[in-house]
Amino acid sequence: MTERLVVIGGDAAGLAAASQARKRRAAADLEIVAFEKGGYASYSACGIPYLIAGDVAGPDRLIAREPAVFRDKQAIDLRMHSEVTAIDVHASTVTVHDWTTGKEYGQPYDQLVIATGAVATRPPLPGADATGVHGIQTLTDAMDLERRLGEEKPERAVVVGAGYIGLEMAEALIRRGLTVALVDDGPQPMRTLDPDMGALVADGLRGIGVTLYQGERVTAFSTAKNGHIEAVQTGTGTIRAELVVLGMGNRPDSALAAAAGIPVGPTGGIRTDRQMRTSVDGVWAAGDAVETFHLVSGRPVAIALGTHANKQGRVAGINLGGGYATFPGVLGTAVSKICDYEIARTGLTEAEAADAGFATESVVVESTTRAGYFPGATSMKTKLIAERRTGRLLGAQIIGKEGAAKRIDGLAIALWNRMTVEDMSGLDLSYAPPFSPVWDPVLIAARKAAELIERAAEA
């Protein structure tokens, strides 16, 4: 008897699950139906700011596989413009609204994967839905913004929110020739960094012409008589704007699951076990919609990254296909490029470590990306956070220019393996003048941290 797998969501997690399940089970044994409410599937949302900036030639470059590929080559019935509006876990059916025809129908399932992703934060403020106020969550959002930039040619933009997307969009709009203001209610850009490292990001933004309004809360969006945005109101004044981009982060899109009685955790993400199963029989979940486990703090977290989504979808699909796989948790490793700076982080910040109950020691070292005498060597700062008693690495941050940020991967491996900074100081890292000083910045930082831990123990 043929079993039916229904997948809600046609991007990284959902289609990874469908593809892995298909790889292990033939169409005669497993029918797969996937629903995507938008017009694009299997694309890189992380590439959207670079599309707007002009680094990516067009939206097609961000699409990994067209829907027809899934249908024709993998026998995955991927239905576009089809939004699942309800799940009935007792009847094992989902309700689907077809936006192309306007019709609604029920779809039974034997196994269900929920991969609804994340939903962008849109503030409940006057004017937030005005013409010219754009969220940047999907490729459709990006194309709407691209059309506005091309047709209306706005000159002044305000970006609200100073996380990764907000900063990347601020730079993209500067490169498109707009005057850009960035508004955030925090004291620094990128709260996933410690303040001393975030200050370097602020300097870089100012250096390319972005006006920063830090510690400012948006109170309203003012519109003209035609309903188009004309200004952003904050607690201290008015910022003129013909375009607003919301980069205020996102949250797990778990409302559909919660309404069906599928447990949701304290982060708002769907709860699963390590195999990506929910506590409801036959229901799995993966990607930005789920809650996962932080390997350093030991706490539940919801971190929306394509890397996690692909891995979790793969795990769910392997298990659905009869194999065995688990998703162990996350470190929150992330990397980005803002202006001339490469920015990377993994593990916990000082504040996060303190909140998790760790007593810490931190070091910041300044070094160069290459041997100092080699052409192109630039300055970089590496910060390590270690547990005071044991010397165990708890977190790391890097800011520098070309050649700096990918060093975070070595630090993430050290974190993954619960290494101490003393262990790290003897790592056999590669050396050649075009790539590193003889003492790599990671080794210098680890040695300095180990010395600090030793002095603290002797005190």
Instruction: Write out pLDDT tens, residues 139-169.
Output: 999 999 999 999 999 999 999 999 999 999 9
Mind listing the pLDDT tens digit for each residue in 32-85? 999 999 999 999 989 999 999 999 988 899 998 899 999 999 999 999 999 999
* 169 belongs to a structural domain: yes
Amino acid in position 414: A
User: Does 201 lie in the same domain as 100?
Assistant: no
Q: Give the model's confidence band at 457: pLDDT under 50 very low, under 70 low, under 90 confident, else very high.
A: confident
For the cut 80, the answer to whether the pLDDT of residue 321 exceeds it is yes
Which pLDDT belongs to residue 142? 93
User: Does 447 lie in the same domain as 347?
Assistant: yes
* 16 belongs to a structural domain: yes
User: Does 427 lie in the same domain as 407?
Assistant: yes
Q: Is 99 helix (H, G, I), strand (E, B) or coil?
A: coil
Question: What phi, psi does 183 have (nearest 5°)?
Answer: -115, 130
Respond yes or no: is residue 339 known to be catalytic. no
**Residues 400 and 196 sit within 8 Å (Cβ to Cβ):** no
User: Does 138 lie in the same domain as 108?
Assistant: no
Question: What phi, psi does 213 have (nearest 5°)?
Answer: -115, 90
For the cut 90, the answer to whether the pLDDT of residue 1 exceeds it is no
Domain end, chosen from 194, 223, 248, is at 248
User: Does 298 lie in the same domain as 186?
Assistant: no
Mind listing the pLDDT tens digit for each residue in 176-194? 999 999 999 998 899 899 9
Which residue range is the domain that position 260 belongs to? 3-46+58-119+251-320
User: Does 225 lie in the same domain as 145?
Assistant: yes
* 327 belongs to a structural domain: no
User: Does 231 lie in the same domain as 139?
Assistant: yes
**Residues 441 and 459 sit within 8 Å (Cβ to Cβ):** no
**Residues 214 and 188 sit within 8 Å (Cβ to Cβ):** yes
What is the share, in percent, of the chain residues with pLDDT greater than 90?
Answer: 89
* 329 belongs to a structural domain: no
Domain total of the chain: 3
User: Does 99 lie in the same domain as 208?
Assistant: no
DSSP 392: B
* 52 belongs to a structural domain: no
**Exposure class string for 232-269: b at 16+ Cβ within 10 A, else e:** bbbeeeebebbbbbbbbbbbbbbebbeebebebbebbb
List the catalytic residue out of 4, 23, 44, 46: 46
Which pLDDT belongs to residue 35? 98
Query: CA 401 to CA 379: how far, in whole Å?
Result: 7
Cα 247 to Cα 143, 171, 244, 292, 426: the distances in Å are 16, 13, 10, 23, 41
Q: What number is the average pLDDT over the span 203-227?
A: 94
Q: Which position has the higher pLDDT, 448 or 456?
A: 448
User: Does 340 lie in the same domain as 454?
Assistant: yes
Query: CA 109 to CA 128: how far, in whole Å?
Result: 38
* 51 belongs to a structural domain: no
Domain end, chosen from 214, 229, 248, is at 248
For the cut 90, the answer to whether the pLDDT of residue 86 exceeds it is yes
Q: Which position has the higher pLDDT, 115 or 1?
A: 115
CATH of the domain at 376: 3.50.50.60
For the cut 90, the answer to whether the pLDDT of residue 249 exceeds it is no
Domain end, chosen from 320, 352, 380, is at 320
User: Does 182 lie in the same domain as 92?
Assistant: no
Which pLDDT belongs to residue 111? 98
Which pLDDT belongs to residue 98? 97
Amino acid in position 451: E
Give the least confident one: 61-65, 81-85, 257-261, 347-351.
Answer: 61-65
User: Does 185 lie in the same domain as 172?
Assistant: yes
What are the DSSP calls for 172-183, one per residue? HHHHTT-EEEEE
* 71 belongs to a structural domain: yes
User: Does 269 lie in the same domain as 234?
Assistant: no
* 195 belongs to a structural domain: yes
